[in-house]
Structure 1
Amino acid sequence: MASGTALIYDSEMTRHRLLWEDPICEIEVPERLTSSYEQLKHRGPVQRCMHVPIREGNEEEIMLVHSSEYLQIVKSTQKMAEEELRRVSENYDAVYFHPDTYHCAKLAVGASLQLVDSVMSGKVCNGIALVRPPGHHSQRAAANGFCIFNNVAIAAEYAKRKYGLQRILIVDWDIHHGQGTQYIFEEDPSVLYFSWHRYEHQQFWPMLRESDYDAIGRGKGKGFNINVPWNKTGMGNSDYLAAFFHVLLPLAFEFDPELVLVSAGYDSGIGDPEGQMTATPECFAHLTHFLMQLAKGKLCAVLEGGYHLKSLSDSVFMTVKSLLGDPIPQLSGEMVPCISAVESIQNVRAAHKTYWKCLIQEDIGLLQDLSTKSHSVVEPELLQSSVHPTAEQAVGKSYSDEAIKTERFLKSHMKKILSPVPPVKTSAAIVSTGAENLLPISVQVEKEMDTKNCKALISRFYSEGVKENEALIPFGNMLAVLDKILRKEVCNGIVESAVGSLCAAVALKHCTDFGLQRVLCIFVGEMDTELSVEDGKNLLVNICQKPSEKAGSKYFISLNWKEDTERNNFFSAALGFILPVAYSYQPDLIVIVVGPNRSLGINGISLLTSLLKGLAESRILAVIQDTEIKLVQSVAKALNKVSAHDFGVYASASQENVREIKLLRHQLQQEWKMLQCSVADCFSGS
């Protein structure tokens, strides 16, 4: 079973550098590579990753994507003097050549292919290649936008041919449109290409009409090219997550990739002079976490852009932290996507509606006259002190006052979000005979809490449960695990209990007494005990076959769900409803309870558990009333990150289930704004 994270880096790639003055190209500097690697060394991930030796990509591999004529042009630059290099560079848009460019570009290709080999051979589960020059703008016969060879596109073709892959997902979160990658695969249904990018109604480089939302691919590739154009600057964490929840993830799970490749450009992060966006570094850890749920965890990230060195290196670090399976810090800022982002999301969903099962039943219309042409985007208050330094400032020369503010913000912000977190351990209290032997070896099996202590604790709020000592056992088991989570001795835990509803009530009260301000409780099945949610310290989502009569408030949501017994039909609810609500709430801890008469199968429950691990620093307590061993095993694996799950065959939600989601979204989108995926949602009820 594959485990571990590969890291590929070689300082040789710093030899590619600009030899003359060029205000456009001067931000693509060797320090982009060295600062990222030094940050990983300083904070520890370098020591925890598997180091894979680098090699040059060969000509045959490069020509999987590029023409032989173009390859020869790049090859010829090795012996050119500066003036001749300059003339060749001027034949392309925003590109420079150096005598070592060809060597470095081949190393970037080879590093990307080494990473694919490491993941596909099972030596590691995932990994990142820190490379330059970058690649996603490079086209079949042309360099473009700092890019010489298209590293990720070559990696995709290589993986298809060497490993026989039929479905590859490329996620391009760089702030520039990777038009090179789009051109290469726009007629290829075996590659699903997703890119968000600063567009501003075709006013931002590369200023192409085919960067807009309605460029969906050509011929057999129609529907497999997804462009999310950002028409304003200032997009941040909630905007990026909204694009994942309502566009990328539903389509990606339906596509069911065998490998995920990430064009990891960090000019989409806060403070970057190119992007002028406000996403904080931990946002990239959350994005990575979601992508790790696809393709059984086979993920290869390859560095693209990123021109503010502090923002770049912090974001690379957070990506690697997520790849390693570490608990992810809470996201910063209010979870409210801006209207401009929602407009783009709505148009993308409308453009792709006829090509994807997950969208076909949605009521989506195109917006012909975008309101963002006349209104501005207000940046989140948390990030208003951030600024966008110039290219000169980005490489450390004569920082302005504004650039220094950005540097200071990132330093204090990283210190805040990297406060001590629990170790990556799962605690378990299992009563089924022999069940503990079937759990992942790294799971800690606990003894129940002392009866006397347990009775004293429970008697404060549930007197019925203390009449018999035997009745204390389920509570003692649960509290033994919960206390370890609350004290951050372990990350999360799983408990078997014959009284799931009562355990949930006790757990929520105990969390409140401990001082937690927000606890999310997902109850799957029928509840026989009332859970208090009046004060907002608890948010209850009950996934059940019959709607609860007591539901309907902001903090008590009843999701009436009918399971497809043969396939997992819960994707649309998990991605389009549960996740947006959960991220809007931003809980300190999550309690998942599986009770009687559940309407979700094992795959649906595992999907829910895996996705929610991105929240609350992965602090989750799972209480399983049904003692089905396969369910306990599956949830324990999801909590423990033993391996990525196969969540079963994708199934579209039934019309009845789709209506339920639409109804709840309409009722709650003003309360939980991450549910908004159309402009009408932003104004309904306001």
Structure 2
Amino acid sequence: MSGSALIYDKEMTRYKLLWTDPVCEIETPERLMVSYEALKSKGLEQRCESFPIREATEEEILLAHSKEYLEAVKQTPHLSLEELRTFTQQYSDVYFHPNIYHCAKMAVGATIQLVDNVMTGKVRNGMALVRPPGHHSQRNAANGFCVFNNVAIAAVHAKNHYNLSRILIVDWDIHHGQGVQYCFEEDPSVLYFSWHRYEHRSFWPYLAESDFDGVGKGKGAGFNINLPWNKVGMTNSDYLYAFFQVLLPVAYEFDPELVLICAGFDSAIGDPEGHMCASPEIFGHLTHLLMSLAKGRLCVVLEGGYNMSSLAQSVCQTVQTLLGDPTPVLASVGSPCHSALESVQNVRAVHQNYWNCFKHIGEQELLCVRSLSFLHFPQGLHDRASVMQAVLCLLLPMAYEFDPGLVVQVLGKCNSKQEVPIWAQLTSLLQGLAQGKTLALLQVSTDMARAGLWASLSGSPGPSLGPLGTPLAENMEALEAQRQRLKSQWGLLLKTGVSSIFNDFAKP
């Protein structure tokens, strides 16, 4: 399985706002046009596999929407301009057009086609450039420029058609995708992660359930992870910190069979909605960090993004990474801001009862060790949960902050079936550094180990690690001691919270 799909059709640009609305005027056809033209100008479109788009069927739309809502939207092509305006007024921050029902069916169909092509092995991964976006739309309502919930429908489709029991949805749009949350908040087979501008509920959509304690309901408790940004100006460092300290540890423990990204690029610098400072290059790295999950089955679906320059650059960075190109250099990665530290710690604390990777946070974070030490993996590679904690929460943060020009891996004995997947995953993750320049030295190994390492060095996704249990307490204590020794030198190792804020910020 290789290659990347690009799903696009110009037809989805053929609707626009027909009246004056300051809220909705930023959602324009140009969003799709500039994204596609940027891919063409860089030669990326030609390197991708293309597939014809079809409209979604009514049965597919009904996977996430009610019959009553679908019937209402079906009438919009026949409404007059005044009737469309009246119809629009029953929903929040959205507009309708005579052609939007057709385009919305194409957006859902394109997303489903991408999932089908990935799940059947025609391609390894891909991106769907679609419009209208989807993650705000709900069972009975359009919302936030969204008519049908493209990713939610595709996730249910994937569960039904491919018998999947674990799907990860990552939403890096700057707005909370409440429609996706509502769809799966009681479903433990779908893990939904969203970071979003929140500012203590003063930013749209102003929902209490968008805060860090919105964890899901019933059997789905713990499978909804909201990371609220309570200030603007978040940087590459803040985004990486959220991935290393929250998303990736949970994602590896969840062990998804498919990863879907609600790719809103209004979280990039210059966007009039986000007011964040993360560069377009960060999305190449975020994409790379997710590519070793689910055996590489990764589907990226466009959501928001309203600054034409940063949108186009961010789309290109994402597609380049999907194609296997080296990830770009990230400048000035360092300490996350205090607000990001606080949000991350709140999320980790509230999810402590749901995820093994957070089980041992607490008293050990009160240690105050100031001497410097080198990082060593915890004893016993067979404790895969502890090893992955070391990789995700210690090694990768320091490596990204260090920004090496070359990565050298020195592997000792690598012979057992338990060790090979760990080293292969580590190798895949480290490929995001030094623009992929990696030298691996194997001291003693088997053919299986060499084959696994070579596959990862060649760009294949790391093998699944299977279910990760609870990390051993003694290993987690050792890792926390290392973090305490190293945090004064490495900003991405900081933590905060009610109990540990003094230790991390009160420097002599």
TM-score by structure 1 length?
0.71
Which whole-Å CA distance do the structure 2 matches of 1:25 and 1:141 have between them? Answer: 20
Which whole-Å CA distance do the structure 2 matches of 1:566 and 1:341 have between them? Answer: 30
Q: Secondary structure at the match of 2:5?
A: strand
Which whole-Å CA distance do the structure 1 matches of 2:505 and 2:415 have between them? Answer: 35
2:464 is the alignment partner of 1:642: no
Cα shift readout 1:140-191 (whole Å, capped 9, x = no counterpart): 0000000000000000000001111111000000000001111111111010
Percent identical residues: 57
Kindly report which structure 2 residues correspond to 1:302-313, keeping only aligned pairs within 5 A, or say none. Answer: 302-313=301-312
Q: Equivalent of 1:657, from 475, 481, 484?
A: 475
2:213 is the alignment partner of 1:214: yes
- The one-letter code of the counterpart of 1:674 is L
2:395 is the alignment partner of 1:572: no
- The one-letter code of the counterpart of 2:421 is N
Q: Equivalent of 1:620, from 424, 427, 438?
A: 438
Show the counterpart of 1:548.
none
Q: Structure 1 residues 597 and 160 mapped into 2: Cα distance closer, same or farther (>3 Å)?
A: closer
Which whole-Å CA distance do the structure 2 matches of 1:558 and 1:303 have between them? Answer: 39
Maintained 8 Å contact 2:267/2:274: yes
Maintained 8 Å contact 2:414/2:444: no
- The one-letter code of the counterpart of 2:269 is I
Q: Secondary structure at the match of 2:445?
A: coil
Which whole-Å CA distance do the structure 2 matches of 1:630 and 1:677 have between them? Answer: 39
Show the counterpart of 2:493.
675
- The one-letter code of the counterpart of 1:17 is K
Which whole-Å CA distance do the structure 1 matches of 2:496 and 2:385 have between them? Answer: 26
Alpha-carbon offset, residue 677 of structure 1: 3.0
Show the counterpart of 2:261.
262
Kindly report which structure 2 residues correspond to 1:374-385, keeping only aligned pairs within 5 A, or say none. Answer: none
Q: Structure 1 residues 186 and 175 mapped into 2: Cα distance closer, same or farther (>3 Å)?
A: same
Cα shift readout 1:18-77 (whole Å, capped 9, x = no counterpart): 001110000000000010000000011101000011000010000000001000111100
Q: Structure 1 residues 238 and 141 mapped into 2: Cα distance closer, same or farther (>3 Å)?
A: same
Show the counterpart of 1:107.
106
Kindly report which structure 2 residues correspond to 1:366-445, keeping only aligned pairs within 5 A, or say none. Answer: none
Q: Structure 1 residues 563 and 145 mapped into 2: Cα distance closer, same or farther (>3 Å)?
A: same
Alpha-carbon offset, residue 16 of structure 1: 1.9
Q: Secondary structure at the match of 1:302?
A: strand
Maintained 8 Å contact 1:284/1:318: yes
Kindly report which structure 2 residues correspond to 1:230-269, keeping only aligned pairs within 5 A, or say none. Answer: 230-269=229-268
Kindly report which structure 2 residues correspond to 1:313-352, keeping only aligned pairs within 5 A, or say none. Answer: 313-352=312-351
Cα shift readout 1:575-598 (whole Å, capped 9, x = no counterpart): 011111111211111111113699
Show the counterpart of 1:79.
78
Which whole-Å CA distance do the structure 2 matches of 1:591 and 1:611 have between them? Answer: 13
Q: Secondary structure at the match of 2:6?
A: strand
Which whole-Å CA distance do the structure 2 matches of 1:597 and 1:74 have between them? Answer: 58
Q: Structure 1 residues 641 and 334 mapped into 2: Cα distance closer, same or farther (>3 Å)?
A: closer
Show the counterpart of 2:374.
557
Which whole-Å CA distance do the structure 1 matches of 2:64 and 2:73 have between them? Answer: 14
- The one-letter code of the counterpart of 2:397 is P
Alpha-carbon offset, residue 558 of structure 1: 3.8
- The one-letter code of the counterpart of 1:614 is G
Maintained 8 Å contact 1:568/1:601: no
Maintained 8 Å contact 1:194/1:225: yes
Which whole-Å CA distance do the structure 1 matches of 2:219 and 2:431 have between them? Answer: 36
Q: Secondary structure at the match of 2:444?
A: coil
Q: Structure 1 residues 560 and 642 mapped into 2: Cα distance closer, same or farther (>3 Å)?
A: closer
Which whole-Å CA distance do the structure 1 matches of 2:78 and 2:30 have between them? Answer: 25
- The one-letter code of the counterpart of 2:357 is C
Which whole-Å CA distance do the structure 2 matches of 1:60 and 1:597 have between them? Answer: 50
- The one-letter code of the counterpart of 2:355 is W
Kindly report which structure 2 residues correspond to 1:153-232, keeping only aligned pairs within 5 A, or say none. Answer: 153-232=152-231
Show the counterpart of 1:388.
none
Q: Structure 1 residues 597 and 95 mapped into 2: Cα distance closer, same or farther (>3 Å)?
A: closer
Cα shift readout 1:534-589 (whole Å, capped 9, x = no counterpart): xxxxxxxxxxxxxxxxxx975x6141522253856411111011111111211111
Alpha-carbon offset, residue 610 of structure 1: 1.1
Which whole-Å CA distance do the structure 2 matches of 1:575 and 1:567 have between them? Answer: 12
Q: Structure 1 residues 642 and 607 mapped into 2: Cα distance closer, same or farther (>3 Å)?
A: closer
Alpha-carbon offset, residue 332 of structure 1: 2.1
2:452 is the alignment partner of 1:630: no
Alpha-carbon offset, residue 601 of structure 1: 2.1
Maintained 8 Å contact 2:414/2:420: no
Maintained 8 Å contact 1:638/1:645: no
- The one-letter code of the counterpart of 2:505 is F
- The one-letter code of the counterpart of 2:100 is T
Which whole-Å CA distance do the structure 1 matches of 2:467 and 2:458 have between them? Answer: 23
Alpha-carbon offset, residue 109 of structure 1: 0.3
Maintained 8 Å contact 2:415/2:449: no
Q: Structure 1 residues 231 and 566 mapped into 2: Cα distance closer, same or farther (>3 Å)?
A: closer
Which whole-Å CA distance do the structure 1 matches of 2:363 and 2:477 have between them? Answer: 14
Alpha-carbon offset, residue 682 of structure 1: 3.5
Which whole-Å CA distance do the structure 2 matches of 1:355 and 1:364 have between them? Answer: 18
Q: Structure 1 residues 562 and 598 mapped into 2: Cα distance closer, same or farther (>3 Å)?
A: farther
Show the counterpart of 2:29.
30
Q: Secondary structure at the match of 2:301?
A: strand
Q: Secondary structure at the match of 1:557?
A: coil
Q: Secondary structure at the match of 1:286?
A: helix
Q: Structure 1 residues 236 and 254 mapped into 2: Cα distance closer, same or farther (>3 Å)?
A: same
Segment of structure 1 superposing worse, 99-108 or 643-652: 643-652
Alpha-carbon offset, residue 678 of structure 1: 2.2
Which whole-Å CA distance do the structure 2 matches of 1:229 and 1:654 have between them? Answer: 30
Which whole-Å CA distance do the structure 2 matches of 1:580 and 1:111 have between them? Answer: 36
Q: Structure 1 residues 566 and 585 mapped into 2: Cα distance closer, same or farther (>3 Å)?
A: closer
Which whole-Å CA distance do the structure 1 matches of 2:296 and 2:415 have between them? Answer: 28
Show the counterpart of 2:62.
63
- The one-letter code of the counterpart of 2:474 is E
Q: Equivalent of 1:584, from 392, 398, 401?
A: 401
Which whole-Å CA distance do the structure 1 matches of 2:212 and 2:379 have between them? Answer: 34
Q: Secondary structure at the match of 2:31?
A: helix
Cα shift readout 1:180-232 (whole Å, capped 9, x = no counterpart): 11111111101000000000000000011110000000011100000000000
Which whole-Å CA distance do the structure 2 matches of 1:225 and 1:36 have between them? Answer: 30
- The one-letter code of the counterpart of 2:428 is S
Which whole-Å CA distance do the structure 1 matches of 2:506 and 2:316 have between them? Answer: 40
Segment of structure 1 superposing worse, 621-630 or 310-319: 621-630
Show the counterpart of 2:46.
47
Cα shift readout 1:496-522 (whole Å, capped 9, x = no counterpart): xxxxxxxxxxxxxxxxxxxxxxxxxxx
Q: Structure 1 residues 564 and 615 mapped into 2: Cα distance closer, same or farther (>3 Å)?
A: closer
Which whole-Å CA distance do the structure 1 matches of 2:212 and 2:95 have between them? Answer: 30
Which whole-Å CA distance do the structure 1 matches of 2:491 and 2:308 have between them? Answer: 33
Instruction: Name stretches of at least 5 consecutive residues in structure 2 with no aligned partner.
Output: none
Maintained 8 Å contact 2:291/2:461: no
Q: Secondary structure at the match of 1:570?
A: helix
Alpha-carbon offset, residue 333 of structure 1: 2.3
Kindly report which structure 2 residues correspond to 1:289-308, keeping only aligned pairs within 5 A, or say none. Answer: 289-308=288-307
Cα shift readout 1:65-119 (whole Å, capped 9, x = no counterpart): 0001000111100111111101111111111000001000000000000001000
Which whole-Å CA distance do the structure 1 matches of 2:413 and 2:261 have between them? Answer: 41
Show the counterpart of 1:288.
287
Alpha-carbon offset, residue 641 of structure 1: 1.1
Q: Structure 1 residues 164 and 585 mapped into 2: Cα distance closer, same or farther (>3 Å)?
A: same
**Of the two, which has the highest radius of gyration?**
1
Q: Structure 1 residues 305 and 165 mapped into 2: Cα distance closer, same or farther (>3 Å)?
A: same
Q: Secondary structure at the match of 2:239?
A: helix
Q: Secondary structure at the match of 2:441?
A: strand
Show the counterpart of 1:380.
none
